[in-house]
Amino acid sequence: MKRFAIISENSLARRLMGSAGVIGMVLLGGIVLILSTLYTSQIVTILDNELDRTVTTLQRAVDADASGHIIIDADREPSDPFFETPLSGRYWAVLMRNEAGPYMSVAQSDSVWDGDLPWSAETLDAIAQNPGQAQRADGIGPSDEPLRMVGQAMILSALDQPVILLVGFDRSETDRGSFRFTLILTLTMAALGIGFLTALLFGIRSALAPLRRIEADIADVREGRRTLMETDYPREVLPLNLELNKLLEHNRGIVQRAQTHVGNLAHALKTPIAVMINEAKGDTPLDEVVRRQSGAMHDNVQHYLKRARAAARAQTVGARCEVGPVLEDLARLLNRLFAERQIDVSVDCPMGLHVRLEKQDLEEMAGNLMENACKWAANEVRVQVSACNDMLNILIDDDGPGLSPDERVAALKRGVRLDEAAPGTGLGLSIVTELADMYEGSFVLEEAPELGGLRASLRLPRA
């Protein structure tokens, strides 16, 4: 039996896991984005504050003499030793517009070496037009490193134009720190998400365990191992369990009432038909017609009452029958009945095989087939039973004359009986076909491969 799959197509567990996974990814991704943005903003703010302090220090070191020349007080300029190391990643410069128009550096740190800080003329004009206001930008430094820069214009009394102070710091370490933080945060959140989904999966398995128990109980009821489902279920599932038990009891009551009505109908019709047959004992044409029609009525009533009883039993939930004992009993009976013809009926059936139908229906189907096989067998009838997935195969072979393919088809029609036809013309086995169909099985006639006669192949649902 196919068991309940915890993560399968179109399942509650799949939907819960899917929705939780999507929501979790959105939330955790949002957290990573927000925290990494805040962290990057914070470390860039720290770097900007350090740039501002350097600009302030540089302002105190810059002055102009009476002739308009820029003077840098070496004792007041930024004292960081990186400003003295070529291409160290920390730079400062003092710029002024020359008479030709472009800005030129009038002083700069040794670290700039022979390069320039990447400020465009438009940006420098904007800085010059707003003295005292710091403007920040990102760019590429003299050694192709990423820079965080600040520019600010200052007014000197000895000069008729502002002086622009530029400071740039290598932000490679800042960017690496931001990347490491984002990576660690992403891995942490991914681990948290995986842990959450794993815990959710186990939680779903635990929460849906009663549903798997219900599935198993229903299978036990359907296969006849119990009559009702257990009632020790959690409070949320118990109402469903109780309603299913009520449905089972209701179904059983309907089947019992149907069987009672069928029995009552059989008794009600049996007597009038018997009276008609007894009254028509004369030799007149009317008596002959009455006897013939009454006999037909009797046969039809018996056929359809038998079919109705079988249909009622087939609808019974929990029907279950062991195959081996039924076939062994039938074989012993037939061996005694056909002892004068020395017909040997053998049964090969593994122990513990069950079919999902009532015992009397199995007896009727197997008994009909085995008896007909004995009638036409020369010496031997073999009954073999095997399991194939959810079905049982019951093969009944004889060593008789067998039937042609057309005769096999005719033999399954209602009203055609083996003892009413010439040898090999067929047998009245429609009731076997109808019973097999009612139980979702099948019945076919084939050629017996070893004995050479007829094989009756009956497939029934396994319990």
Are 243 and 334 in a shared domain? no
> DSSP labels for 137-204?
EEEE-TTS-EEEEEEEEE--TT-SS-EEEEEEEE-HHHHHHHHHHHHHHHHHHHHHHHHHHHHHHHHH
Same domain, 452 and 436: yes
CATH code (residue 124): 3.30.450
- Point out the residues of the chain with pLDDT beneath 50: 1-6, 418-427
Residue 32 belongs to some domain of the structure? no
Q: Which tokens in the block code for residue 338?
A: 């056909």
Give the residue carrying structure tokens 């037939």: 334
DSSP bridge partners of 103: 97
Q: How far apart are CA 144 and CA 161, in angstroms?
A: 31
Domain that holds residue 67: 61-172
**398, 416: one domain:** yes
What residue type is 231 in one-letter code? T
Domain co-membership, 243 together with 353? no
Residue 60: predicted pLDDT: 93
4 assigned to some structural domain: no
| Secondary structure letter of residue 228 according to DSSP | S
pLDDT value of residue 424: 39
Question: What's the pLDDT score for residue 121?
Answer: 87
In a domain, 25, yes or no: no
The verdict on 288 and 157 lying in the same domain is: no
Place of tokens 């504050």: 49
* Same-domain pairing of 290 and 349: no
- Report residue 154: phi and psi, to 5°: -130, 150
CA 171 – CA 153 distance, rounded (Å):
23
In this structure, is residue 54 part of a structural domain?
Answer: no
Question: pLDDT tens digits, residue range 299-314?
Answer: 777 666 666 656 555 5
Let me know if residue 341 belongs to a domain.
yes
**Number of C-beta neighbours around residue 118 at 10 A:** 16
Core vs surface per residue 149-170: b (16+ CB within 10 A) or e? bbbbbbebeeeeebbbbbbbbb
pLDDT at residue 210, rounded to an integer:
83
Q: Tell me if 333 is assigned to some domain.
A: yes
**Six-digit token string for 13:** 């567990």
> What is the rounded distance in angstroms from the CA atom of residue 375 to the CA atom of residue 409?
19
Contact 331, 374 (CB under 8 A): no
Choose among 373, 302, 311, 287: nearest CA to 337: 373
Q: Cα 269–273–276 angle (5° rounding)?
A: 150
In a domain, 418, yes or no: yes
Residue 395, SS3 per DSSP = strand
In this structure, is residue 181 part of a structural domain?
A: no
- Same domain (yes/no): 254, 335: no
SS3 394: strand
The domain total for the chain is: 3
Q: 308 with 332, same domain?
A: no
pLDDT in the model for residue 454: 92
Q: What percent of the chain clears pLDDT 70, i.e. is strictly above it?
A: 88
**Boundary (domain end) residue, out of 314, 348, 370:** 314
How far is the C-alpha of 398 from the C-alpha of 380, rounded, in Å? 6
Residues 420 and 298 in one domain: no
Domain boundary among 260, 284, 314: 314
Q: Model-level pTM?
A: 0.53
Per DSSP (E only), the strands in 328-453 are 344-348, 354-355, 380-388, 391-398, 442-447
Residues paired with residue 95 on neighbouring β-strands, in sequence order: 105, 164
Write down which residue in 314, 344, 361 finishes a domain. 314
One domain, residues 303 and 330: no
Bridge-based pairing of strands 391-398 and 354-355 is unpaired
Residues 337 and 353 in one domain: yes
Same domain, 444 and 334: yes
Amino acid making up residue 401:
P
> Shortest CA distance to 339 belongs to which of 309, 379, 387?
379
**Residues 6 or more apart from 36 whose CB is under 8 A from it?**
178, 181, 182, 185
Output the domain CATH number for residue 375. Answer: 3.30.565.10
